Amino acid sequence: MRTNNKIVDRENIQKLVRQLKNKNKTIVFTNGCFDILHVGHVVLLEKARSQGDELILGLNTDESVQRLKGDKRPINFQDERARVLAGLEAVSYVTFFSEDTPAELIQEIVPDILVKGGDYELNEIVGRETVEENGGQVITIPLVKGRSTSNLINKIKQNF
């Protein structure tokens, strides 16, 4: 499947999820900025995908990243981030959300499994209630130690 075909707009993601659920596919969801892709991201996405049949990645828009991370972020624009993520085997589909949290998107698609990194406590995970109230499961995956976008940015700054 071409990477462009894996990027689905917000209006069509609900329709796609309904089709997948009608085929008894287990839908896994995770989200984030994924500004500079690193090994920690890849490990998280591979482990998330292993929890079900299809992994949908909710990607913060550029405006959302700026509000969360500051005016100098994102480093990479949303269309570029989406294309790189769509190129990963673990990622089934990428869709965008412009809100500060993915709560609305999670309510729209109601995944079977919600995955976040181990830096979150279960009670801090946005969308947990929606998923659990609908019989789903929330899972945290341990982070790869020392690997983060912020660490990469700091390393680059120190070397130039």
Nearest CA-CA partner of 98 in 60, 58, 56: 60
Tell me the C-alpha distance between 106 and 147, whole Å: 27
- Give the pLDDT of the chain (160 residues) as one tens digit per residue: 677 899 999 999 999 999 999 999 999 999 999 998 989 999 999 999 999 999 999 999 999 999 999 999 999 999 999 999 999 999 999 999 999 999 999 999 999 999 999 888 999 999 999 999 999 999 999 987 766 666 666 777 788 7
| 3-class SS string, 93-144 | EEEEECCCCCHHHHHHHCCCEEEEECCCCHHHCCCHHHHHHCCCEEEEECCC
Q: What is the pTM of this model?
A: 0.92
At 117, give phi and psi (nearest 5°). -70, 160
The C-alpha angle 155, 65, 39, rounded to 5 degrees, equals 45
What structural domains does the chain harbor? 3-159 (3.40.50.620)
Residue 116 tokens, joined: 């976040």
